[in-house]
A and B are shown apart, each in its own frame.
Chain A
Amino acid sequence: MTVVEQLNRDWQRFTPLRRLSRFAFYLCAVAALVASLRTIEIIPEFLYDAPEQMVDLVQRMVPPDWSYLKPTLDALVETLHIATVGTVFAIFMAVPIGIMGASNVTPNGPLNLLAKFIFVTSRSVNSLIWALLFVAVFGPGPLAGTFAIAFRSIGFTGKLFAEALEEADKGSIEALTAAGASRPSTFIMGYWPQVRPAFWSIALFRWDINIRESAVLGLVGAGGIGVALDTAMSLLYWDQVAVVLLAIFIVVVLAEIIVTSVRTKLI
């Protein structure tokens, strides 16, 4: 190939296979969208009075019924307990499964796969559905909510913990193994210091998410502020609903501020 030929070559950003797969992605996306839009069942009659209904809703919510503040706050404390204890339980269960799922700590293919399967199952069943299952087991109340939050969080915390373990630097681990450290010591002194910041940030992040999630568990009877919300809604006291929503909003915003400030200090 002469220099001139080389210079006149056509430059392309992507290989043909890549272009083809990009095209396939767009095609699938558009096809899925069109198919969904054409077949979804929507009752247009309901839409005509939507603006009226919205105005009606806002009018019923204002002014909020502040006498409902006391039960709301009690339920809010319960929600915080559910979220925190649920996160603690989740971490207790997720750490061993995360260790089992990290291919460098547990070099065993079937065990890694089993851990991945547990993570996917835990994450794909929604917190509200977990709550339904645990209400059937423990009966209505915060205990069911705590277990729902714990089981739902295993997937998220465990998966991220396993990924953090897999990214750990081999140097210090090899040094410990060379010094004759047993496997538990290698884990506690080699892996743990490396993944500790990641671990705490995962735990905090999940706690923040769990506060949001535990606020709705009460809708299926699993305790917390959702029960207050459900009671007010079933009685059509929308002014009380407004108080509950406001309380949830403030707590969620506060939790996010706390998590962000603690994370910047930790990392």
Chain B
Amino acid sequence: MATGYFGLTIFFVLAFFIGSALLILNRLLAPKAPDPYKEYPYECGVPLYDKTTWTTIDQKYYLLGLLLVLFDLESAFVFPWAVIFREVAQVAPGFIFTEMFLFLFVLILGYLYAWKKGALRWQ
């Protein structure tokens, strides 16, 4: 198994180096003709109104982001259960079924609450 992760690491290093090599190659090969207008952010040719966009932006899905944390964690708990489901179902079918669906039931209640409260709407 250790060799498996070893292969993955080597693949990552190679992919990273090939990606960076392409960027560097581009810098080396490309012509350079600096021009103040080229450094100007795209703005349809009108003068730049706002010097920066790094201000507060109303992104309208803050609650969805919170729900993502909740449900992604939940799916992390469901995965191991799913893998052993068939195996354990032969020995203790009632146990493995109720165990997870009790857990899911509580979360689905929370999900319905969030839905009713309008957290799933684009605000």
Task: Tell whether A pairs with B.
Answer: no
Interface residues of A (CB under 8 A from B): none
